[in-house]
Structure 1
Amino acid sequence: MKLFSCPSCSHVLFFENVVCERCNHALGYEPASNAMLALEPLGGGWTAVGAKSDDRPWRYCANYDHGVCNWMVSADQDETFCLACRHNLVVPNLADASNVALWQKMEIAKRRLFYSLLRLKLPLESRAEHPEGLGFEFLSNDDATGQNVMTGHDDGLITIALAEADDAERENRRTSMGEPYRTLLGHFRHEIGHWYWDRLVRDGGALEACRSVFGDDSQDYNQALQAHYANGPKPGWQNEYVSHYAAAHPWEDFAETWAHYLHITDTLDTGRSWGFRVDPRVDREDLLTAKIDFDVFSPNTTITEIVESWLALSGALNALNRSMGAADPYPFVLSESVVSKLSFIHELVHGRVAHGATGSDLPDTPDIEPAPTPDDRQVA
């Protein structure tokens, strides 16, 4: 996520800001230009500071009224919801004030997801545009029936349990399921990976190429999950998969790897915006040295640049967190097999997996020198 600046006074801004703390202008994010607009009232809407007389007027997304969105919509369009919120199908019952705070956390994570998807220029059909278009349902458990909401994906419909926005409940679930990492943003990135498997792999002619990397997805999915939960993680999964859940089925391997690709690219985008340079004094072989000065979303950026920089940056982030007594933000190890899978995702999102391609048509796995990692980072 990049840093922004106020067009009126040049004050540093962050993605969720709605008011500039220096000049007090209202703020809104405009996704087409990937910019924050400083706004002034114009009739019933807004105009951007510095706009020309013939520039378009703006209005906030309709969900701004609930305090959950700061994205802008062109006032000359009929659409009242922004590019992210137009995909919402079910939102929490807003008569319950506690739901609004949880929904706000949901929307913050979702908008950060959409930031990356838009920067990568990925397709984003809605349910109105495609029978399996992307839609979100944010649901609460039904206390009357005892039915618990399960987070998941089904033909473009992504359900996220509202309870996942409760930090204590999510941590409880993370611990009980033996997961090293569980966040709202991680849920969004994982579940949308299933949707992009449908759009880019199944419908995009990349099925055989994907199977050559992730395995045969035609194996029974429900049986595979039952075996995973009954028997525990596959022995030695760290050598082949980015997480133990990825070993359950090729669909989950793809979705987990997709999520990690977004973790990595968005965090490197943040590192570039902050001017990060990682250059440890004791790293004489430059295994943990990187200057993050490239556009990670550019199709010209190679997976080698991405992974080498990520090994350095994630190592530094983990070390900084440990100095504060906090958990590693990235408690994962990228094996050679995982890097190969990330390479496939990189080629896929940039449209370089040809229709009908096979494994032999894919680029070679980049030769990445393994970075030193503490033994306790080999999480199970």
Structure 2
Amino acid sequence: MRRFYCLCGNEVGFHDHYCKHCGRDLAFDPQIGTMWSGELIAQDHFFAHSANRGKAVKFRPCAQRFSAIGCNWLLLNEDEHCQCIACRSSRVIPDQSIQRNINRWYRLEQAKRQLFQTLLDLQLFNAAQPAVFQDLRFDFLEDRRSNPNLQLEHVLTGHYDGLITLNAAEADEGFLHTMKEQMRERYRTLLGHFRHEIGHYFWLKFFTTEAQKRQFRSVFGDERDDYAHALERYYQQGNNNHWRSRFITPYASSHPHEDWAETWAHYLHIVDTLQTAQSYGISIYEPQEHNFNRWFVEWARVAQIMNALNRSMGLAEPYPFKLSEIVVGKLHFIDEVIQEYAQRQTNNAAATEKPLADTVASWTKS
């Protein structure tokens, strides 16, 4: 996450609605990735200035700015929608007549906006062309574990053909911690769920030709293996004791699709955290000159600093992962795929499919 500033020079947070120093209203512009400070006029006008742009611009605030989730994103005046690109992707939300669901929805949407911002930074989404990802939808559902009035026993977090379903109870810290213990996971967060499931969504975008799928299989394995049977085997028999040499998490060993999504989510963790470190002067990596080798070496250094800081406070290490050479190769593959896809998006040539980089496969050893 980058650092953002009010026009007065005060640093502000990504989700902030107003500057705590000067009182100006704040709103985030997803088209150019900047925080505007200005004056909110009624519910449909926002006159804004940016700390790095002197000219005043007129926007419309997202309609959800005035709801329980308090979205602080903007729309262009000519946009036909009343909600921003992040909020309007939610198809089903938790029942807002139940008090605890208000905070759940708030936290779910916050995590989704952070996800969208990372995807915008990576140029996987283009806020000026939302039709490109209009097939992406989110259902935030409940089950009887958190709402005894419902018939549904279990809501399973997952993705199917552009629809991402999340159990709304995952927005509760207690439920999240309980599930983490039950699943014996080292890392489980609400944002992590979003990052994992969006990986399944982008798999369908990236691997559309047989040539691309063959390259995927050379790195992650054959995704045509029976998915339901693979998961059943994983939950009944547990993970392979040697998973650490080939996979980023035990769950990644269950099936190539889950290996992709787990590794993809990890890649997004690194991207966002390294950007934050760079913004605060902790990292010396310059993203304008992207090079995977330097990028990953810098990440290893920053992760070591993060863990040391937490240990100094008597807290658990935020980054408990040890990555094998094979896992690093998978991250490199994802990096190459993203770079090529983003370039095609930039060139507005999505109809012309290019084969993925041939050099990527050499990073992963069988």
TM-score range, shorter chain: 0.7 to 0.9
Question: 1:211-222 alignment to 2 at 5 Å?
Answer: 211-222=217-228
Counterpart of 1:253 (choices 252, 255, 259) is: 259
Structure 2 stretches lacking a partner, 5+ long: 344-351
Deviations 1:305-364 (A, max 9, x none): 221011111111112112222222111111100110000000001117995747854364
Task: Give, as a single letter, the amino acid of the residue that structure 1 aligns with 2:21.
Answer: R
Q: Distance in 2 between matches of 1:95 and 1:58?
A: 31
Q: Distance in 2 between matches of 1:204 and 1:114?
A: 29
| Cα 1:363–1:231 shift into 2, 3 Å | closer
Following TM superposition, by how much is the alpha carbon of 1:92 offset from its aligned partner in structure 2, in angstroms?
1.3
Following TM superposition, by how much is the alpha carbon of 1:42 offset from its aligned partner in structure 2, in angstroms?
4.2
3-state DSSP of counterpart to 1:64: helix
Q: Distance in 2 between matches of 1:211 and 1:92?
A: 38
| Residue 305 (structure 1) aligned with residue 305 (structure 2) | no
Deviations 1:117-137 (A, max 9, x none): 000111479xx9579821101
Q: Distance in 1 between matches of 2:299 and 2:212?
A: 27
Following TM superposition, by how much is the alpha carbon of 1:238 offset from its aligned partner in structure 2, in angstroms?
0.5
Deviations 1:212-264 (A, max 9, x none): 10011110000100111111111211011110100000000000110000000
Counterpart of 2:360 (choices 359, 362, 365) is: 362
3-state DSSP of counterpart to 2:140: strand
Aligned partner of 1:282 in structure 2 is none
Q: Distance in 2 between matches of 1:348 and 1:200?
A: 7
Q: Distance in 1 between matches of 2:96 and 2:183?
A: 30
Question: 1:37-56 alignment to 2 at 5 Å?
Answer: 37-42=36-41, 44-49=44-49, 56=57
Given the two structures, how large is their TM-score scaled by the length of structure 2?
0.88
Q: Distance in 1 between matches of 2:83 and 2:210?
A: 29
Following TM superposition, by how much is the alpha carbon of 1:74 offset from its aligned partner in structure 2, in angstroms?
1.5
Aligned partner of 1:336 in structure 2 is 325
1:212/1:359 contact within 8 Å kept: no
Aligned-pair RMSD on alpha carbons?
Answer: 2.5
Aligned partner of 2:286 in structure 1 is 294
| Residue 263 (structure 1) aligned with residue 255 (structure 2) | no
Aligned partner of 1:2 in structure 2 is 2
Counterpart of 1:160 (choices 161, 166, 172) is: 166
3-state DSSP of counterpart to 1:334: coil
Deviations 1:33-55 (A, max 9, x none): 111111214464111137888x6
| Cα 1:24–1:360 shift into 2, 3 Å | closer
Q: Distance in 2 between matches of 1:99 and 1:204?
A: 44
Q: Distance in 2 between matches of 1:219 and 1:46?
A: 52
Larger displacement relative to structure 2 (130-139 or 26-35) = 130-139
Task: Give, as a single letter, the amino acid of the residue that structure 2 aligns with 1:36.
Answer: M
Larger displacement relative to structure 2 (302-311 or 191-200) = 302-311
Question: 1:79-158 alignment to 2 at 5 Å?
Answer: 79-123=81-125, 129=131, 133-142=135-144, 143=148, 144-158=150-164
Aligned partner of 2:347 in structure 1 is none
- Asked which structure has the greater RCO (Cα within 8 Å, sep 6+), the reply is 1
Q: Distance in 1 between matches of 2:292 and 2:63?
A: 38
Task: Give, as a single letter, the amino acid of the residue that structure 2 aligns with 1:365.
Answer: W
| Residue 60 (structure 1) aligned with residue 68 (structure 2) | no
Counterpart of 1:325 (choices 300, 314, 322) is: 314
| Cα 1:239–1:272 shift into 2, 3 Å | same
Identity %: 38
2:91/2:137 contact within 8 Å kept: yes
1:186/1:259 contact within 8 Å kept: yes
Shift >4 Å, 4+ stretches: 50-53, 128-132, 352-356, 358-361
| Residue 12 (structure 1) aligned with residue 39 (structure 2) | no
Q: Distance in 2 between matches of 1:214 and 1:268?
A: 25
3-state DSSP of counterpart to 1:292: coil
3-state DSSP of counterpart to 1:15: coil
Structure 1 stretches lacking a partner, 5+ long: 277-290, 367-380
Q: Distance in 1 between matches of 2:21 and 2:310?
A: 31
Given the two structures, how large is their TM-score scaled by the length of structure 1?
0.85
2:45/2:58 contact within 8 Å kept: yes
Q: Distance in 2 between matches of 1:115 and 1:129?
A: 17
